Structure 1
Amino acid sequence: MSFDAKAELSAALVNDFSLKELVAGGFHNRVASDVNAYPRVIYTELKNADDSYADNQARSSEARFQISIFTNSNTVNKETKIAKEIDQLMKSIGYRRYDSQDLYEEADKVFHKAMRYKKAFFKEEK
């Protein structure tokens, strides 16, 4: 099965006006282009694989993403609002959250909220 889950997610993030207003550092796939811009969102595909089979044919696939919100001491007050907006957006495109962690990266003095989502894609019958 082929589905470009990254393209779907990227389009959803950059086209969400409320999120764009909150996330001055932008949305990035795996690596931020400016590591000093806060708050920023980085999304990483964790899994994109066939999930269930019938008659040796994939009938569905599962995609999993980690959405990371990075803030510093000046922008950490926006973290919860950004997280709620992202959660609402992800649910609107069919994902469900299965994990969330609040982290602090001591070496960089950066707050990092990691949220993990998954979605099943079903093959359309021809």
Structure 2
Amino acid sequence: MIIDLEPVVVSALRNDAELISLLGRDKEGKVKVYPLVAPDISNPKITFFEITNFPNKFAGDKELSSAIHFQIDVWNSGNTSKISMAANRVMESLGFVRSGSNSLYEPDTKIYHKVLRYKKTHIGS
């Protein structure tokens, strides 16, 4: 059983009032939260992807739970702290635990980049 939490994650991030305020909307009117790649270069924005999704516990030959890991990337021409803290709050509200983070600077584009990694054990239905 593969559990797809991407729709849950994108919905929670795109529907959070604080993130809507901090990120704004793109040309199509969507809050600037994108799976994998953003369609344009405007900042600030969030991209995210599922890192791993694998069986965690079994009963006989039936999978009982999955271990799921996501990465959230915050991109901004300035400080990423407010957006990162809001994204962290949203992920924790979904039951994810932050497993690591690091701050980066992309010198070629002069963009600040905050990487947030999360893990969750999801019990199947």
Q: If the length of structure 1 is used for normalisation, what is the TM-score?
A: 0.89
Structure 2 counterpart SS, 1:45: strand
SS class of match (1:42)? strand
Gapped regions of structure 1 (runs ≥ 5): none
**Alpha-carbon distance in structure 1 between the residues aligned to 2:67 and 2:7:** 15
Name the structure 1 match of 2:45: 40
SS at match of 2:9: helix
For 1:116 and 1:4, how far apart are their aligned partners in 2?
Answer: 17
Cα distance in 1, alignment partners of residues 124 and 48 from structure 2? 25
2:33 alignment partner in structure 1:
27
Q: Distance in 2 between matches of 1:52 and 1:4?
A: 17
Partner of 2:97: 96
2:110 matched to 1:105? Answer: no
Alignment map for 1:65-104 (pairs within 5 Å): 65-72=70-77, 76-77=78-79, 79-104=80-105
Give aligned pairs, total.
Answer: 119
Q: How far apart are 1:83 and its partner, in Å?
A: 0.9
Deviation, 1:80, is: 0.7
The letter for the 1-side match of 2:98 is R
Larger deviation, residues 1-10 vs 93-102: 1-10
Runs (4+) of structure 1 exceeding 6 A deviation are none
> 1:3 Cα deviation (Å)?
2.4
Instruction: Work out the CA distance in 2 between the residues paired with 1:49 and 1:9.
Output: 18
The 3-state SS of whatever aligns with 2:6 is: helix
What is aligned with 1:9? 9
Task: For residue 37 of structure 2, give the secondary structure of its aligned residue in structure 1.
Answer: coil
2:61 is the alignment partner of 1:60: no
